Amino acid sequence: MEKIGVIGGSGLYKLDGIKTIKEVAVKTPYGDPSDKFIIAELNGREIVFLPRHGRNHSINPSLVNYRANIYAMKKLGVGQIFSISACGSLQAKMKPLDFVVADQFIDRTNSGRANTFFDCGVVAHVALAEPVCPCMAKTLVNAAKKSKVKVHDGGTYINMEGPQFSTKAESNLYRQWGADIIGMTNFSEARLAREAEICYATMAAITDYDCWHPEHDSVTIEMIIGNLHKNVDNAKRVLREALLSAPKERTCSCKDALKFAIVTQPQFIPAETKKKLAPITGKYFK
């Protein structure tokens, strides 16, 4: 049975109430992941937890080594990932302290984040029209409802660069586009998880109204941290329920995302590249 990965965002740096087995450091061809991985066990299933920004929150969103994090998850045998993160709301109906299980993304990063594993002698074009695993998303939504937490089923996530917050002009532009929430991290994870054939879904905890709302104070770090702490307990309850109810066998298309995506013929792919990508593409290049 494949393991379940959890990527914890701001405020979620450890798993409470779940038996920890060990901590492991994982080396990758892309450098070091954000921190050591915590291997835990819940109801007979192994959980692999990683704090996205490090357990001391010392890595800003633009500098998170997303490739190393997802590669290491794959190397550790993870087949499904639940991602937890903080976000701002761009819509009045999505209020601070609500949760959103995003189903679409718009990329507004500009720092040249490394968002693919296929940059070294092999080309692959994975389908990303539906960037979130529907099975994992449904699991999160049901878990939130069972936990009596206000959750929005679906929403478009603007992935801004950061670490600064938005200007009012940007915030209002994104609202005109129809975006629902804004954050700094999740789309890189979703892209890389799809390339690694890992099911991925994210649950975003709303901390503020970004800076567009005329009747609410502009976003401040104090506001975010205050609402973040209020959301952490709810997030942990939902996460535990989701981990207990996650599908044991994958039936979605995520598990075969690379089946028709690799366009470089095997004989032209450098041996070193095949070795580097073995945890991800090994089943296609035996």
Question: Of the listed 16, 208, 233, 256, which one is catalytic?
Answer: 208
Question: Of the listed 210, 217, 233, 256, which one is catalytic?
Answer: 210
Cβ-based neighbour number of residue 261 at 10 Å: 18
Cβ-based neighbour number of residue 106 at 10 Å: 15
Name residues whose C-beta falls within 8 Å of residue 199's C-beta, 6 or more positions apart in sequence. 79, 80, 81, 133, 135, 136, 193, 250, 252, 254, 255
- Active site annotation includes 210: yes
Q: For residue 70, what are its two tokens?
A: 């997802």
Alpha-helical regions (H) of 23-178: 66-75, 134-146, 168-176
Phi, psi of 200 (to 5 degrees): -140, 135
- Active site annotation includes 35: no
- Interhelix angle 186-195/66-75, rounded to 10 degrees, is 40
Could you give the residue numbers annotated as active site?
A: 208, 210
